[in-house]
Structure 1
Amino acid sequence: MPARRFDAERLLLARRDAHLKQSDIGQALGVSGARVSAWETGRSAPDPERLPGLAQALGQDLDVLFPREGWADLADLRADAGYSQAATRELIGTRTAGPVAAAEHGQRRLAQEYEERLAHAYGVSREALRRAQERSFGIDVPEPGARSGGTLSEPRTLADKITYVLDQMPVRPSDTEIAARGNAMIGRHVLTGDLVCGLRTGRVTSVSPAAGEALAEALDTTSLMWSEDADVQRIITETLVLRGQIAAIAARGGGEEGLSAELLAFVSREVGKAGEEFRGQPDQSAP
């Protein structure tokens, strides 16, 4: 199931930015402040159906605060509407949530009368609910207008791009390590662990040219990644998705080490060259 990505640190920073206490969030969600504390420290994670309420309490967009990897299945639609599985029995008028549970686990499809009621409760069309149901049965059904092979989400925001690159690394460095490496690579102190954390979690949404260069060096990618030019962004996102697909293939059949650093560097250099064609400027990150 392509569940939403929960980041404890991002939740903590969002709450602090909103100038709210843990007890404030707990009161909005009907849980204790101690429960919110456990979420923020990573000792536990909220149930998926809690995420919409969390985003609302923090005044954040659900897709920004808790991005989803891929298209939604039935369980995702339910969670995004804020319902637990047990609560669906009231939505469809049955004694138990068995029909919904069976459909979410790919065991038995919903009756047509249940489809209509759930689509209304979830705030989606009946067609969208049926597509989500097919995904629960392991059938890769794209959304209308989506490109084929689009089950991998395309990183659009600065935070998503950074997270996407980090997810491809065999050993994920800390924010402080990223800052130290970037500063060393360009010979200037332009990054801090706090700045990298802010960029990674979406608290900081823009980056200076010098900091962008250092960040690109630290992540072994091109500084064109941070460009706001629509054509360059398209190349970057397509290349990142390609890079992820190559890494996935290598991980399945390339032995314990997976994809070589040389091949990943080659992909990064190629996107830099492609960006030059649009910008008419040499990419300083390419050797």
Structure 2
Amino acid sequence: MPARRFDRDRVRLVRRRAEISQSEVADSVGVAESTVSGWEAGTSAPDQEKLPALAQALRQPLDRLFPRDGLPDLTDLRCDAGLYRKETASVIDMKSDGPVGAAEGGVRRLKDRYIEKLAEAYGVTAEALRRAQDRSFAKQSGDEEVGTVASPAKAAPEEAPRTLAEKITLMLERSYPQGAAPGDSEIAAAVNAHAGAEVISAAEIEDLRTGRSEDAAPVALEGLAQFFGVTRLYFEPDEAVARQVYEGLRLMSAAKQGKVGRVRARGMGAEGLPAGVLSILNDLATELEKADPDANNK
């Protein structure tokens, strides 16, 4: 099942509203006018590799015109770059596209020297490409259901997002009804309104969302957190969150032993943390003591 959804009715509607002829679309995409007519009539569908050019011809963002189901694997990234697999041979300076085909099929992982070249050609970071490769291998090994709904007893644990791009994508996919997710311009406007200044553009939001950039100012991340209704820690790297949790558990452990005063959450009133939260943290602190008895002496 294709990762991106092609809706012929939506394509026809967008084209007509923009007063773009089928002939103009065909010239822009590099196909015959009859091909575009067939796409809109439903007698055929464009290759996934053609969707970026089609979206550009219709002056629409790729993600808005052709939403993606789930996070991308290697094939998805290549198609989003508008490249057919045979074209990747020149990208990796090989006579054959075999290495790319093997990686997309979950047979053999890409060599490190191919990673940077493909990432640049696909317009993503090397880390984003490696994560996409992991998904390709997960699909091949059956670790995740593809195109089907697994029963609760058989469903594999969902892979937690790690990169900033994956976290933003997850929020867009899970927080809004299908087709109702906000665009990059809307997100940028909300972040700038929260900051009270122009701190990020729609193009920069797109770079963060697609993995072309992982560099965002703290004020921009705070605005994203406010917009999506999540804690600022959600957009922090896993290591930074883990470090804060560890320090918090050390503090709770010390509190249990009477080494520090009453623990209160930052920004809360005189009552401190809710009893339920304290209970959970105390249990975690006990586990910490078992695993690291000398934690309070560090």
Q: TM tier, shorter chain?
A: 0.5 to 0.7
1:1-287 matched pairs, under 5 angstroms: 3-138=3-138, 140=159, 142-145=161-164, 150=170, 153-154=173-174, 156=176, 159-160=179-180
Query: How many Å apart are 1:30 and its aligned residue?
Result: 1.0
The answer to whether the 8 Å contact 1:69/1:152 transfers is no
Aligned mates of 1:83, 1:15 — CA distance in 2: 24
Distance 1:154 1:124, change over 3 A: same
Partner of 2:72, secondary structure, is: coil
Paired AA for residue 42 in structure 1: G
The answer to whether the 8 Å contact 2:3/2:68 transfers is yes
Query: How many Å apart are 1:68 and its aligned residue?
Result: 0.4
Paired AA for residue 52 in structure 1: P
Aligned mates of 1:12, 1:129 — CA distance in 2: 33
The answer to whether the 8 Å contact 1:131/1:141 transfers is no
The answer to whether the 8 Å contact 1:23/1:33 transfers is yes
Paired AA for residue 89 in structure 1: A
Query: How many Å apart are 1:79 and its aligned residue?
Result: 0.6
Query: How many Å apart are 1:12 and its aligned residue?
Result: 0.6
Partner of 2:176, secondary structure, is: coil
Aligned mates of 2:114, 2:27 — CA distance in 1: 33
The answer to whether the 8 Å contact 2:171/2:228 transfers is no
The answer to whether the 8 Å contact 1:2/1:72 transfers is no
Aligned mates of 1:141, 1:73 — CA distance in 2: 15
Where structure 1 has 5 or more consecutive residues not aligned to the other structure, the ranges are: 162-229, 236-287
Paired AA for residue 10 in structure 2: R
Partner of 1:137, secondary structure, is: helix
Distance 1:120 1:158, change over 3 A: closer
Percent identical: 50
Distance 1:157 1:63, change over 3 A: farther
Q: CA RMSD in A?
A: 3.0
Where structure 2 has 5 or more consecutive residues not aligned to the other structure, the ranges are: 144-158, 182-224, 231-298
Aligned mates of 2:227, 2:134 — CA distance in 1: 35
Distance 1:47 1:13, change over 3 A: same
Paired AA for residue 103 in structure 1: A
Mark the structure with the bigger radius of gyration.
Answer: 2
Paired AA for residue 176 in structure 2: R
The answer to whether the 8 Å contact 1:71/1:142 transfers is no
Distance 1:39 1:124, change over 3 A: same
The answer to whether the 8 Å contact 1:135/1:141 transfers is no
Aligned mates of 1:70, 1:151 — CA distance in 2: 11
The answer to whether the 8 Å contact 1:116/1:126 transfers is yes
